[in-house]
Structure 1
């Protein structure tokens, strides 16, 4: 099953689950109870902590839930703030290719595909209900291999983990996480959605 946030981010091949961690966790849990999907692939947009470029497409199987105050030692958490959805075991994580199809990443030239994707390196996606607008915080995230920011992915992977369902995500960068994040998101969103739509359909062999 392919899922997305919904509202301004909808695709004809994806089931909307809601915006932010709370909505997506509640709605995806209901879907898992009723439909019992064999896999979950989340598709959506993301902000970059500097190293990923606008319109770059990145695939990931790991998410973090780290707030900025954690890095400045102004907060702590007693719960795990990292999750990878491997299904029912802690073995090798499923690739997006194994979940969608065996089609090659390089067969689609309409999008800028991350080198990390091509080299099977893992890019971690941070998740928060708040958007980062401070460039000074980027270095703390990238030092931990966290390069993208999305509002739903951590919740999606936690739900998938709870139900023992293999899961992954496909993201396209719409903006950098700086003072112009919202304006750039709005400016680039339409083209990003079109590129992501084509990319996912090519990956799935449609």
Structure 2
């Protein structure tokens, strides 16, 4: 089953599950309880901490939930904050960080790179958490729309349409989806 956040990121070939950590957890859990999929492929946009360029495609099976307070040593958590799916869909070791907030401090977010965290997407940690609970293989494919800097939202809006087209074309090229072309 191919899933995506929704709102700005809807596709005719995916099921929308909500934006952010909470909506995603609730809606995906509900789906799994009533009609458990054999696998999950989450697709969507991401912000780059600096190593990936805008419009790069990143595949991943690892996610973290690391808040900026961790980087400034002004917060801690007793919870596991990095999880990985046990699957053979993807071999990439890039960790996708998830939070209900979009990072805009590029000096601070570059520190994520020291921990192997390359991009951020609001939903992926929830997706992996729910999939792990239901023992569903899961992977994510992301297209970079912006860098995590003061212009993150503006760049996201400017690049979003092209990025979604590039993501769709990537899925077609990888033979993950098939799209009928019009006349």
Paired with 1:138 and 1:193, the residues of 2 have a C-alpha distance of 24
Deviations 1:178-204 (A, max 9, x none): 000000000000000111111113221
Structure 2 residue 104 is the aligned partner of structure 1 residue 75: no
Shift of 1:139: 2.8
Once the two structures are superposed, the pairs formed by residues 9-24 of structure 1 within 5 Å of their partners are: 9-24=9-24
Which contiguous aligned blocks of 4+ residues in structure 1 show a shift greater than 2 angstroms?
none
Judge which range, 174-183 or 136-145, deviates more: 136-145
Counterpart CA distance in 1 for 2:135 and 2:73 is 34
TM-score by length of 2: 0.94
Please give the TM-score of this superposition, normalised by the length of structure 1. 0.83
1:57-206 correspondence to structure 2 within 5 Å = 57-86=57-86, 93-96=87-90, 120-203=91-174, 204=176, 206=178
CA contact (8 A) 1:125 1:148 kept: yes
Is the Cα–Cα contact under 8 Å of residues 24 and 155 in structure 1 kept in the other structure?
Answer: yes
* Unpaired segments ≥5 residues, structure 2: 179-183
Native 8 Å contact 2:61 2:92 kept in 1: no
Give per-residue Cα distances to partners, 1:136-162, cap 9 Å, x unaligned.
112320011101000000000000000
Looking at structure 1, the residues matched to 132 and 38 of structure 2 have their Cα atoms a distance apart, in angstroms, of: 12
List gaps (5 residues or longer) in structure 1. Answer: 87-92, 97-119
CA shift for structure 1 position 172 = 0.2
Displacement of 1:121: 3.7
Is the CA contact (8 Å cut-off) linking 1:175 and 1:188 kept in structure 2? yes
How far, CA to CA, are the matches of 1:6 and 1:201 in structure 2? 20
SS of alignment partner, residue 97 of structure 2: strand
Which protein has greater RCO, CA pairs closer than 8 Å, 6+ apart? Answer: 1
Mapped to 1, the partners of 2:77 and 2:88 lie a distance apart of 28
SS at match of 2:115: coil
